Amino acid sequence: MITFQIPGYLRSFTEGRGRVELDGSVASVGEALERLWTLHPGVRDRVVTEQGEVRQHVNVFVGDESIRFTGGLATPVPEGAEIWIVPAVSGGRS
Amino acid sequence: MVATRNVQVKDGDVLVMVGTTKGAFLLRSSGARKKWDVGGPHFPGHSVYAMAYDGRGKKPTLWAGTNSMHWGGVLRSSTDFGKHWTEPESANVKFPTETGASLKQIWKIRPGRPEEPNTLFCGVEPAALFESRDGGETWELNRGLYDHPHRARWQPGGGGLCLHTILPDAQDRDRMFIAISTGGVYRTDDGGRTWQPRNHGVRADFLPGKFPEYGQCVHKVVAHPSRPDRLFLQNHWGLYRSDDGGDSWTDIANGVPSDFGFCMAMHPHDPETVYIVPIESDQFRCTPEGKLRVYRTRNAGKSWEALTRGLPQKEALECVLRDAMSVDHMNPAGVYFGTRSGLVYGSPDGGASWSKLIGGLPPVVSVEAAVVGGVKSNGSRRKASAAKRASRQPARSSSRPRAAKARGAAPRRRSPKKK
């Protein structure tokens, strides 16, 4: 099982849930995210662009490590991992 | 978080939609435009560079292009004046995969012509035009413009590579103008299949060749529906008019303190009258001499006059951005603008006098005004009293009686006696 931690803004697209659990295992963060938006389609376009890239000011962590430094969406996801979707502090510029 | 307040709106009210870098606000007044209720913030934390009022359907619809630095941009609508806004599950304005492009920001929402009530246009960054033929349910990229061979040479201006102006020709359904910063003005004569640059005579001070075919940093273009071949253009340095549908442009910076600026608004009833707010320079983007002055021409750019009554004339280093000025269709017309410092000013008398409608907002990036339900044409009490006030304004009443009569701006004649 893996667990997604959902930030406040996106909970309006997860029926209010701050945690979303997925059964079984996944090969990568990309696959985990695909399964997340099968369950909650509204999350998709908020987290990734129409080209499938994680938005500039959104960070995704597997455990404590940002996927920007571990292979991006190809980052492997160990059994039992927590995946965090977190708005970056840089987003407050304007 | 601050609670969102809603305004109660009814037919005949004037609505001023104010988009800021951190949310939208709705200002409502009766037709007298003396007292304003303020609603908002809507979409707190999201920038709102584009808003529109669409009165063509059974219910008036408000549109807002909202953008979150984190979560991206989406187009939303409301049919109850902001009490509820749509929140599309999937982004409704997005680039096809094969373009490799991603939406950065929605810059303009433009309802189509009255005779095509389900058509809307949307201008975005990176520069592209989207069209909806089903009332905003679905949106499609205009490929004629997106695949234009000039695209590779368009360069982002300070605000990004944005398509910020959309002008459907009011009389020719196949013709439309768009403007890109920096790309210039483009015109289609075949309903959007092909587009031609229309920048002859418009300066590009930042390029070695000052008059290129395209690549100008156009900030805003306006036109009056009754004279679609006449366009006015506020450039990144330069004020221009075209009388031939953009085929050629003439410099009309006659008597302005600077021909740099961003915003430009067309008078709703008079095709000779245009409003601008000159800015000192591209290096110092503030109102010249610390004076907040709207400039108005009433002769299509032959001369400009400063409108200052009610506006601060010292220590006012303000800037009004390209979409932060608008007019309502009342008679006399209301004129509105918002500043980067979060002030919104309005004039109920075509610019003769101004008052601050609200201050303390986040930086204002868009202003759109509308008369809810449209202006009643049968000479209501509201209209009569407004015209009476206008007749007291010396700037408006005495100098151009023939033109005023021709445009029907001051209906001072008595009604014909019943026989």
Q: What is the pLDDT of residues B146-160, one digit of tens each?
A: 999 999 999 998 889
Taking CA atoms, what residue in A is nearest to B88? Answer: A42
User: Residue B373 carries which DSSP code?
Assistant: T
pTM of the entire structure? 0.90
C-beta of residue B26 within 8 angstroms of C-beta of residue B81: yes
Q: Are strands A2-5 and A82-87 parallel, antiparallel or unpaired?
A: parallel
Residue B92: list chain A partners with CB under 8 A.
Answer: none
Decide if A41 and B90 are in contact by the 8 Å CB cutoff.
yes
Low-confidence stretches of chain B (pLDDT < 50) are 378-419
| Count of domains for chain A | 1
What band does A91 get if pLDDT is binned at 50, 70 and 90?
low
Q: What is the pLDDT of residue B139?
A: 98
Cβ-defined contact of A55 to B74 (cutoff 8 Å): no
Contacts with A58 from chain B: Cβ below 8 Å: 70-71
User: Which pLDDT score, from 0 to 100, does residue B395 have?
Assistant: 37
**What tens digit of pLDDT does each residue of A49-83 get?**
999 999 999 999 999 999 999 999 999 999 999 99
Nearest-CA distance B100 → chain A (Å): 6
The per-residue pLDDT for A94 is 54
Decide: helix, strand or coil at residue B289: helix
DSSP A91: G
What does the block give as tokens for A64? 């404590």
Domain that holds residue B329: 14-407
- Count how many domains chain B has: 1
A12-47 pLDDT, tens digit per residue, is: 999 999 999 999 999 999 999 999 999 999 999 999
Q: Please enumerate in sequence order all residues whose Cβ is within 8 A of that of A7, keeping only pairs 6 or more positions apart, or say none.
A: A85, A86, A87
Decide if B4 is inside a domain.
no
Say if the Cβ atoms of A51 and B68 lie within 8 Å.
Answer: no
Reported ipTM: the value is 0.95
Please state the length of chain B.
419
Query: In angstroms, what separates the C-alpha of A87 from chain B's closest C-alpha?
Result: 6
Beta strands in B189-226 (DSSP E): 196-197, 218-224
**Which residue among B22, B70, B96 sits closest to A91, beta carbon to beta carbon?**
B70
So what's the pLDDT on residue B195? 98
A94 in B contact zone (CB under 8 Å): yes
Contact between B300 and B252 (Cβ < 8 Å): yes
For position A69, which CATH number holds?
A: 3.10.20.30
| B46 found inside a domain | yes
Q: In A1-94, where does DSSP find H-type helix?
A: 29-39, 44-47
Q: How confident is the model at residue A89 (pLDDT cuts 50, 70, 90)?
A: confident
Residue B3 lies in a domain: no
Task: Tell which A residues from 23 to 42 touch B, by Cβ distance under 8 Å.
Answer: 41-42
CA count, 13 A, side-chain hemisphere, B281: 4
The Cα A23–Cα A2 span in angstroms is: 7
Write phi, then psi, for B390 (nearest 5 degrees).
-60, -35
Nearest to B97 among A9, A47, A50 (CB): A50
* Secondary structure class of A36 (helix, strand, coil): helix
Range of the domain at A17: 2-92
| Residue B126 preceded by cis peptide, ω within 30 | yes
The CATH number assigned to the domain holding B155 equals: 2.130.10.10
To the nearest 5 percent, what fractions of chain A are helix, strand and coil?
Answer: 35, 25, 40
Contact B90 A45 (CB under 8 A): yes
Among candidate residues B300, B297, B351, B292, the one with its CA nearest the CA of residue B327: B351
Q: What is the dihedral of CA B279, B21, B78, B374, to 10 degrees?
A: -20
Neighbours of A89 (CB within 10 A): 9
Are the beta carbons of A13 and B89 separated by less than 8 Å?
A: yes
B233-267 in b/e form (b: 16+ CB < 10 A) is bbbbbbbbbbeebbeebeebbeebbbbbbbbbbbb
Q: Which helix (H) or strand (E) holds B263?
A: strand B260-266
- Hey, which residues does A86 pair with through a beta bridge? A59
